Structure 1
């Protein structure tokens, strides 16, 4: 049923590219709340090489992933087949946060579709790549992406997004530091 892979092969890459949603899980070093975030917009995820992936981190209501990854690096990304053959793919690894000032950010952002509200890019070096049956995952049909997050970001000017990030993205729900004060300025470039 389950299988561990030494790399993201062509079959797994095709599976990843076909999924309209993925889930990101992180946790603080000790105690605290485990966070699982659904991510849409398939053009926000990229397989960089056989063991490295990245996703575009857009404005959101919290900053759990950034906080946890900066604290301990632990991250798991999960894809589920809601159509076609059953499958669950988990990418376990060590993440790092690239903000606009980080080396490599400007080049890496070109790998993603156009979205406003870019906070960072999360890069994951996978140390375990495994899939399993997914026999109990229901069939669900995909209608379309919700444009609401992009629309929300488009309605905010730079000052409004800066204020939002300062209020909501400086620390996790458990008080783990998230965005630094100098990192709350919205990216002036779109992805």
Structure 2
């Protein structure tokens, strides 16, 4: 059954590397809780207590806004194929924008993506596994290329304009500071 650990083991890192989707949960002190599914090759384990993920341009920027208000974050992986498991990573996270130290260092860990808007860096303080016995089997077919194709077609200038129009505030009106200098 479930276990609680203070770090990501080698076995759990291998599990993470084999997953095609993960879910991110954040919340400000008030307002709505946000849970976002994330895909593509956008997640890296840096060491046993640090992860980063590449946050791509999307229709909203709830995670970015929430982390400015409250640094708590939970990441969840589910095994939809193979051995059952749910894995949650708990910790404190911060946002790195293109203007921030560390952004380019971590960005180099990922395939180039025009839609890259932020990198989320999280210090993991609790790792929890649970059985996942009720999670259904689902077969992975392929990655969706829609978001990446859209970003390439738009180009950096149009994407920055999109951020200005769609990514500067959360649905609760919290600032994301995505374009702040």
TM-score by length of 1: 0.91
In structure 2, the partner of 1:22 is 22
Q: Equivalent residue of 1:119, what SS? A: strand
- Structure 2, unmatched stretches of 5+, are none
C-alpha change, 1:112 and 1:157, in structure 2 (3 Å) is: closer
C-alpha change, 1:105 and 1:112, in structure 2 (3 Å) is: same
Moved more, 159-168 or 47-56: 159-168
The question of whether the paired residues in 2 share the 8 Å contact of 1:87 and 1:134 is answered with yes
In structure 2, the partner of 1:118 is 116
- Post-superposition CA distance 1:79-99 (Å, at most 9, x none): 000000100000011000001
Q: What is the deviation of 1:180? A: 4.1
Separation in 1 of the partners of 2:13 and 2:45?
7
Q: Structure 1 residue 161 and structure 2 residue 159: aligned?
A: yes
- Structure 1, unmatched stretches of 5+, are 184-191
Separation in 2 of the partners of 1:180 and 1:23?
21
Pairwise CA RMSD: 1.1
> How do 1:1-191 residues align onto structure 2 when only pairs under 5 Å count?
1-30=1-30, 32-41=31-40, 43-182=41-180
Q: What is the deviation of 1:74? A: 1.1
Q: What is the deviation of 1:139? A: 0.2
TM-score by length of 2: 0.96
User: What is the aligned residue count?
Assistant: 181
Runs of 4+ in structure 1 over 2 Å off: 179-183
The question of whether the paired residues in 2 share the 8 Å contact of 1:169 and 1:179 is answered with no
Separation in 1 of the partners of 2:178 and 2:141?
37
The question of whether the paired residues in 1 share the 8 Å contact of 2:7 and 2:125 is answered with no
Q: Equivalent residue of 2:108, what SS? A: helix
Q: Equivalent residue of 1:157, what SS? A: helix
